[in-house]
Amino acid sequence: MADLIGYIKDPLLREIAEKVAGGTRISPAEGIALYEKADLAVLGLLAGIVRRRINGNYAYYNRNFHIEPTNKCIYNCRFCSYHKPDGDPESWEFSQEEMLGIVKGFDGRNVTEVHIVGGVHPGHDIHYYGQLLRRIKDHRPSLHIKAFSAIELDHMIRISGLTLKQGLQHLRDCGLDSIPGGGAEIFDDEVRKKIAPEKSTADTWLEIHETAHNLGISSNATMLYGHIEQYSHRVGHMERLRSLQDRTKGFNAFIPLKYRKANNSMSWLGEVSVTEDLRNYAVSRIFLDNILHIKAYWPMTGRETAQLSLSFGADDLDGTIDDTTRIYSMAGAEDEHPSMPAGEICLLIREAGFEPAERDSLYNLINTFAL
């Protein structure tokens, strides 16, 4: 490895590479330099060093399904293709009975997680969603419930008149096991004002996750990239996540989410290339040295890019999903009905040269499949 690093001609990049190889944390300025100056081969090399150090040759997946309670939302984010107003033929709102019916549809099937996230409904408070969690747990106690973005939590807790700690503790008592990472977008205030001016602030998002971590509720983290942000905004976003992780150790995974252009008011921007996707995965893996897992969410990236990402720092492909999410298909992702059986995921991982590892929601190994 030292010989390969020696071929890096730029002195700054060579210095950064030596730090990465030695397990030393890089600075935000060095993160920006990687984005701006490092070619894809160098980024793949360095991200691979970190990936192997943390996760060896494993590439993870789980058996999961989604429930999206509604796409009606009080917010009108400019990048969003999911939100539809009441009365729109593409809008929906599931009742609790219908959502419990989705859970029952997986009776007798080998799934370990339900992921619940959707629009911010104006009228549903924490007691409504708490009852939903209890009903799911009563029906299938072993099912891990990963539910509600920080944006949803902010609204449902506020309208219920509770503090963040009280609200999160109530949901935990009702059966909430972990929190997804949605709603983070980009933490920079000026960028956030332009793409999601109505949404909860970055400070609120971070406070909700920190409070959850302190209550023993782990979570994921995301970053929306490929729109009007600059590299400095991406690194600033990840620096705030890294700092929070230093304090709490509560993040399970980081998920870069690519802006998709279809059916939203920012479509004139277009989309960044696959090369930029891989660059972003690699820098994320190198910079976020204390978040153990980098997820390539295959319904967003497409299967081929998700497979490529495993060689650029990603170590997790999410799960089987079974055609239960529409968030990215409504934004133009290539797979309109995302579903991938475990066998196909394992084949995709093996073809990339990695070892498939089935996990639970907290990255405990369920099964491994040797090459």
Q: Who has greater pLDDT, 150 or 76?
A: 150
Residue type, 228: I
How many residues are there in the chain? 371
Distance, in Å, from the CA atom of 138 to the CA atom of 56, rounded to the nearest integer, reads 38
Can you give the pLDDT at residue 324?
61
Q: Give 220-263 pLDDT, tens digit per residue.
A: 999 999 999 999 999 999 999 999 999 999 999 999 999 988 77
Distance, in Å, from the CA atom of 112 to the CA atom of 260, rounded to the nearest integer, reads 29
**Band of the pLDDT at 78, cuts 50, 70, 90?**
confident
Q: Residue 132 above 70 pLDDT? A: yes
User: What is the arithmetic mean of pLDDT over 156-160?
Assistant: 96
Q: How many helices (H) and strands (E) does the chain have?
A: 15, 10
Can you give the pLDDT at residue 333?
46
Alpha-helix runs per DSSP H in the chain: 2-6, 11-21, 28-37, 40-55, 96-104, 126-139, 150-159, 164-174, 189-195, 202-214, 231-248, 274-287, 298-301, 303-309, 342-351
**Band of the pLDDT at 325, cuts 50, 70, 90?**
low
Q: Who has greater pLDDT, 14 or 339?
A: 14
Q: Residue 82 above 60 pLDDT? A: yes
Q: Give 331-347 pLDDT, tens digit per residue.
A: 444 665 678 999 999 99
Q: Give 29-59 pLDDT, tens digit per residue.
A: 999 999 999 999 999 999 999 999 999 999 9
C-alpha gyration radius of the chain: 20
**Band of the pLDDT at 203, cuts 50, 70, 90?**
very high
For the chain, the domains span 57-368
**Band of the pLDDT at 142, cuts 50, 70, 90?**
very high
CA atoms within 13 A on the CB side of 55: 31
Can you give the pLDDT at residue 329?
53
Q: Residue 327 above 60 pLDDT? A: no
Can you give the pLDDT at residue 331?
46
Q: Residue 114 above 70 pLDDT? A: yes
CATH class of 57-368: alpha beta
- Global pTM reads 0.94
Q: Which residues lie closer than 8 Å to 319 by C-beta, 6 or more apart?
A: 61, 62, 63, 64, 113, 345
- Of 159, 182, 162, 181, the C-alpha closest to 173 is 162
User: What is the arithmetic mean of pLDDT over 289-294?
Assistant: 98
Q: Who has greater pLDDT, 23 or 329?
A: 23
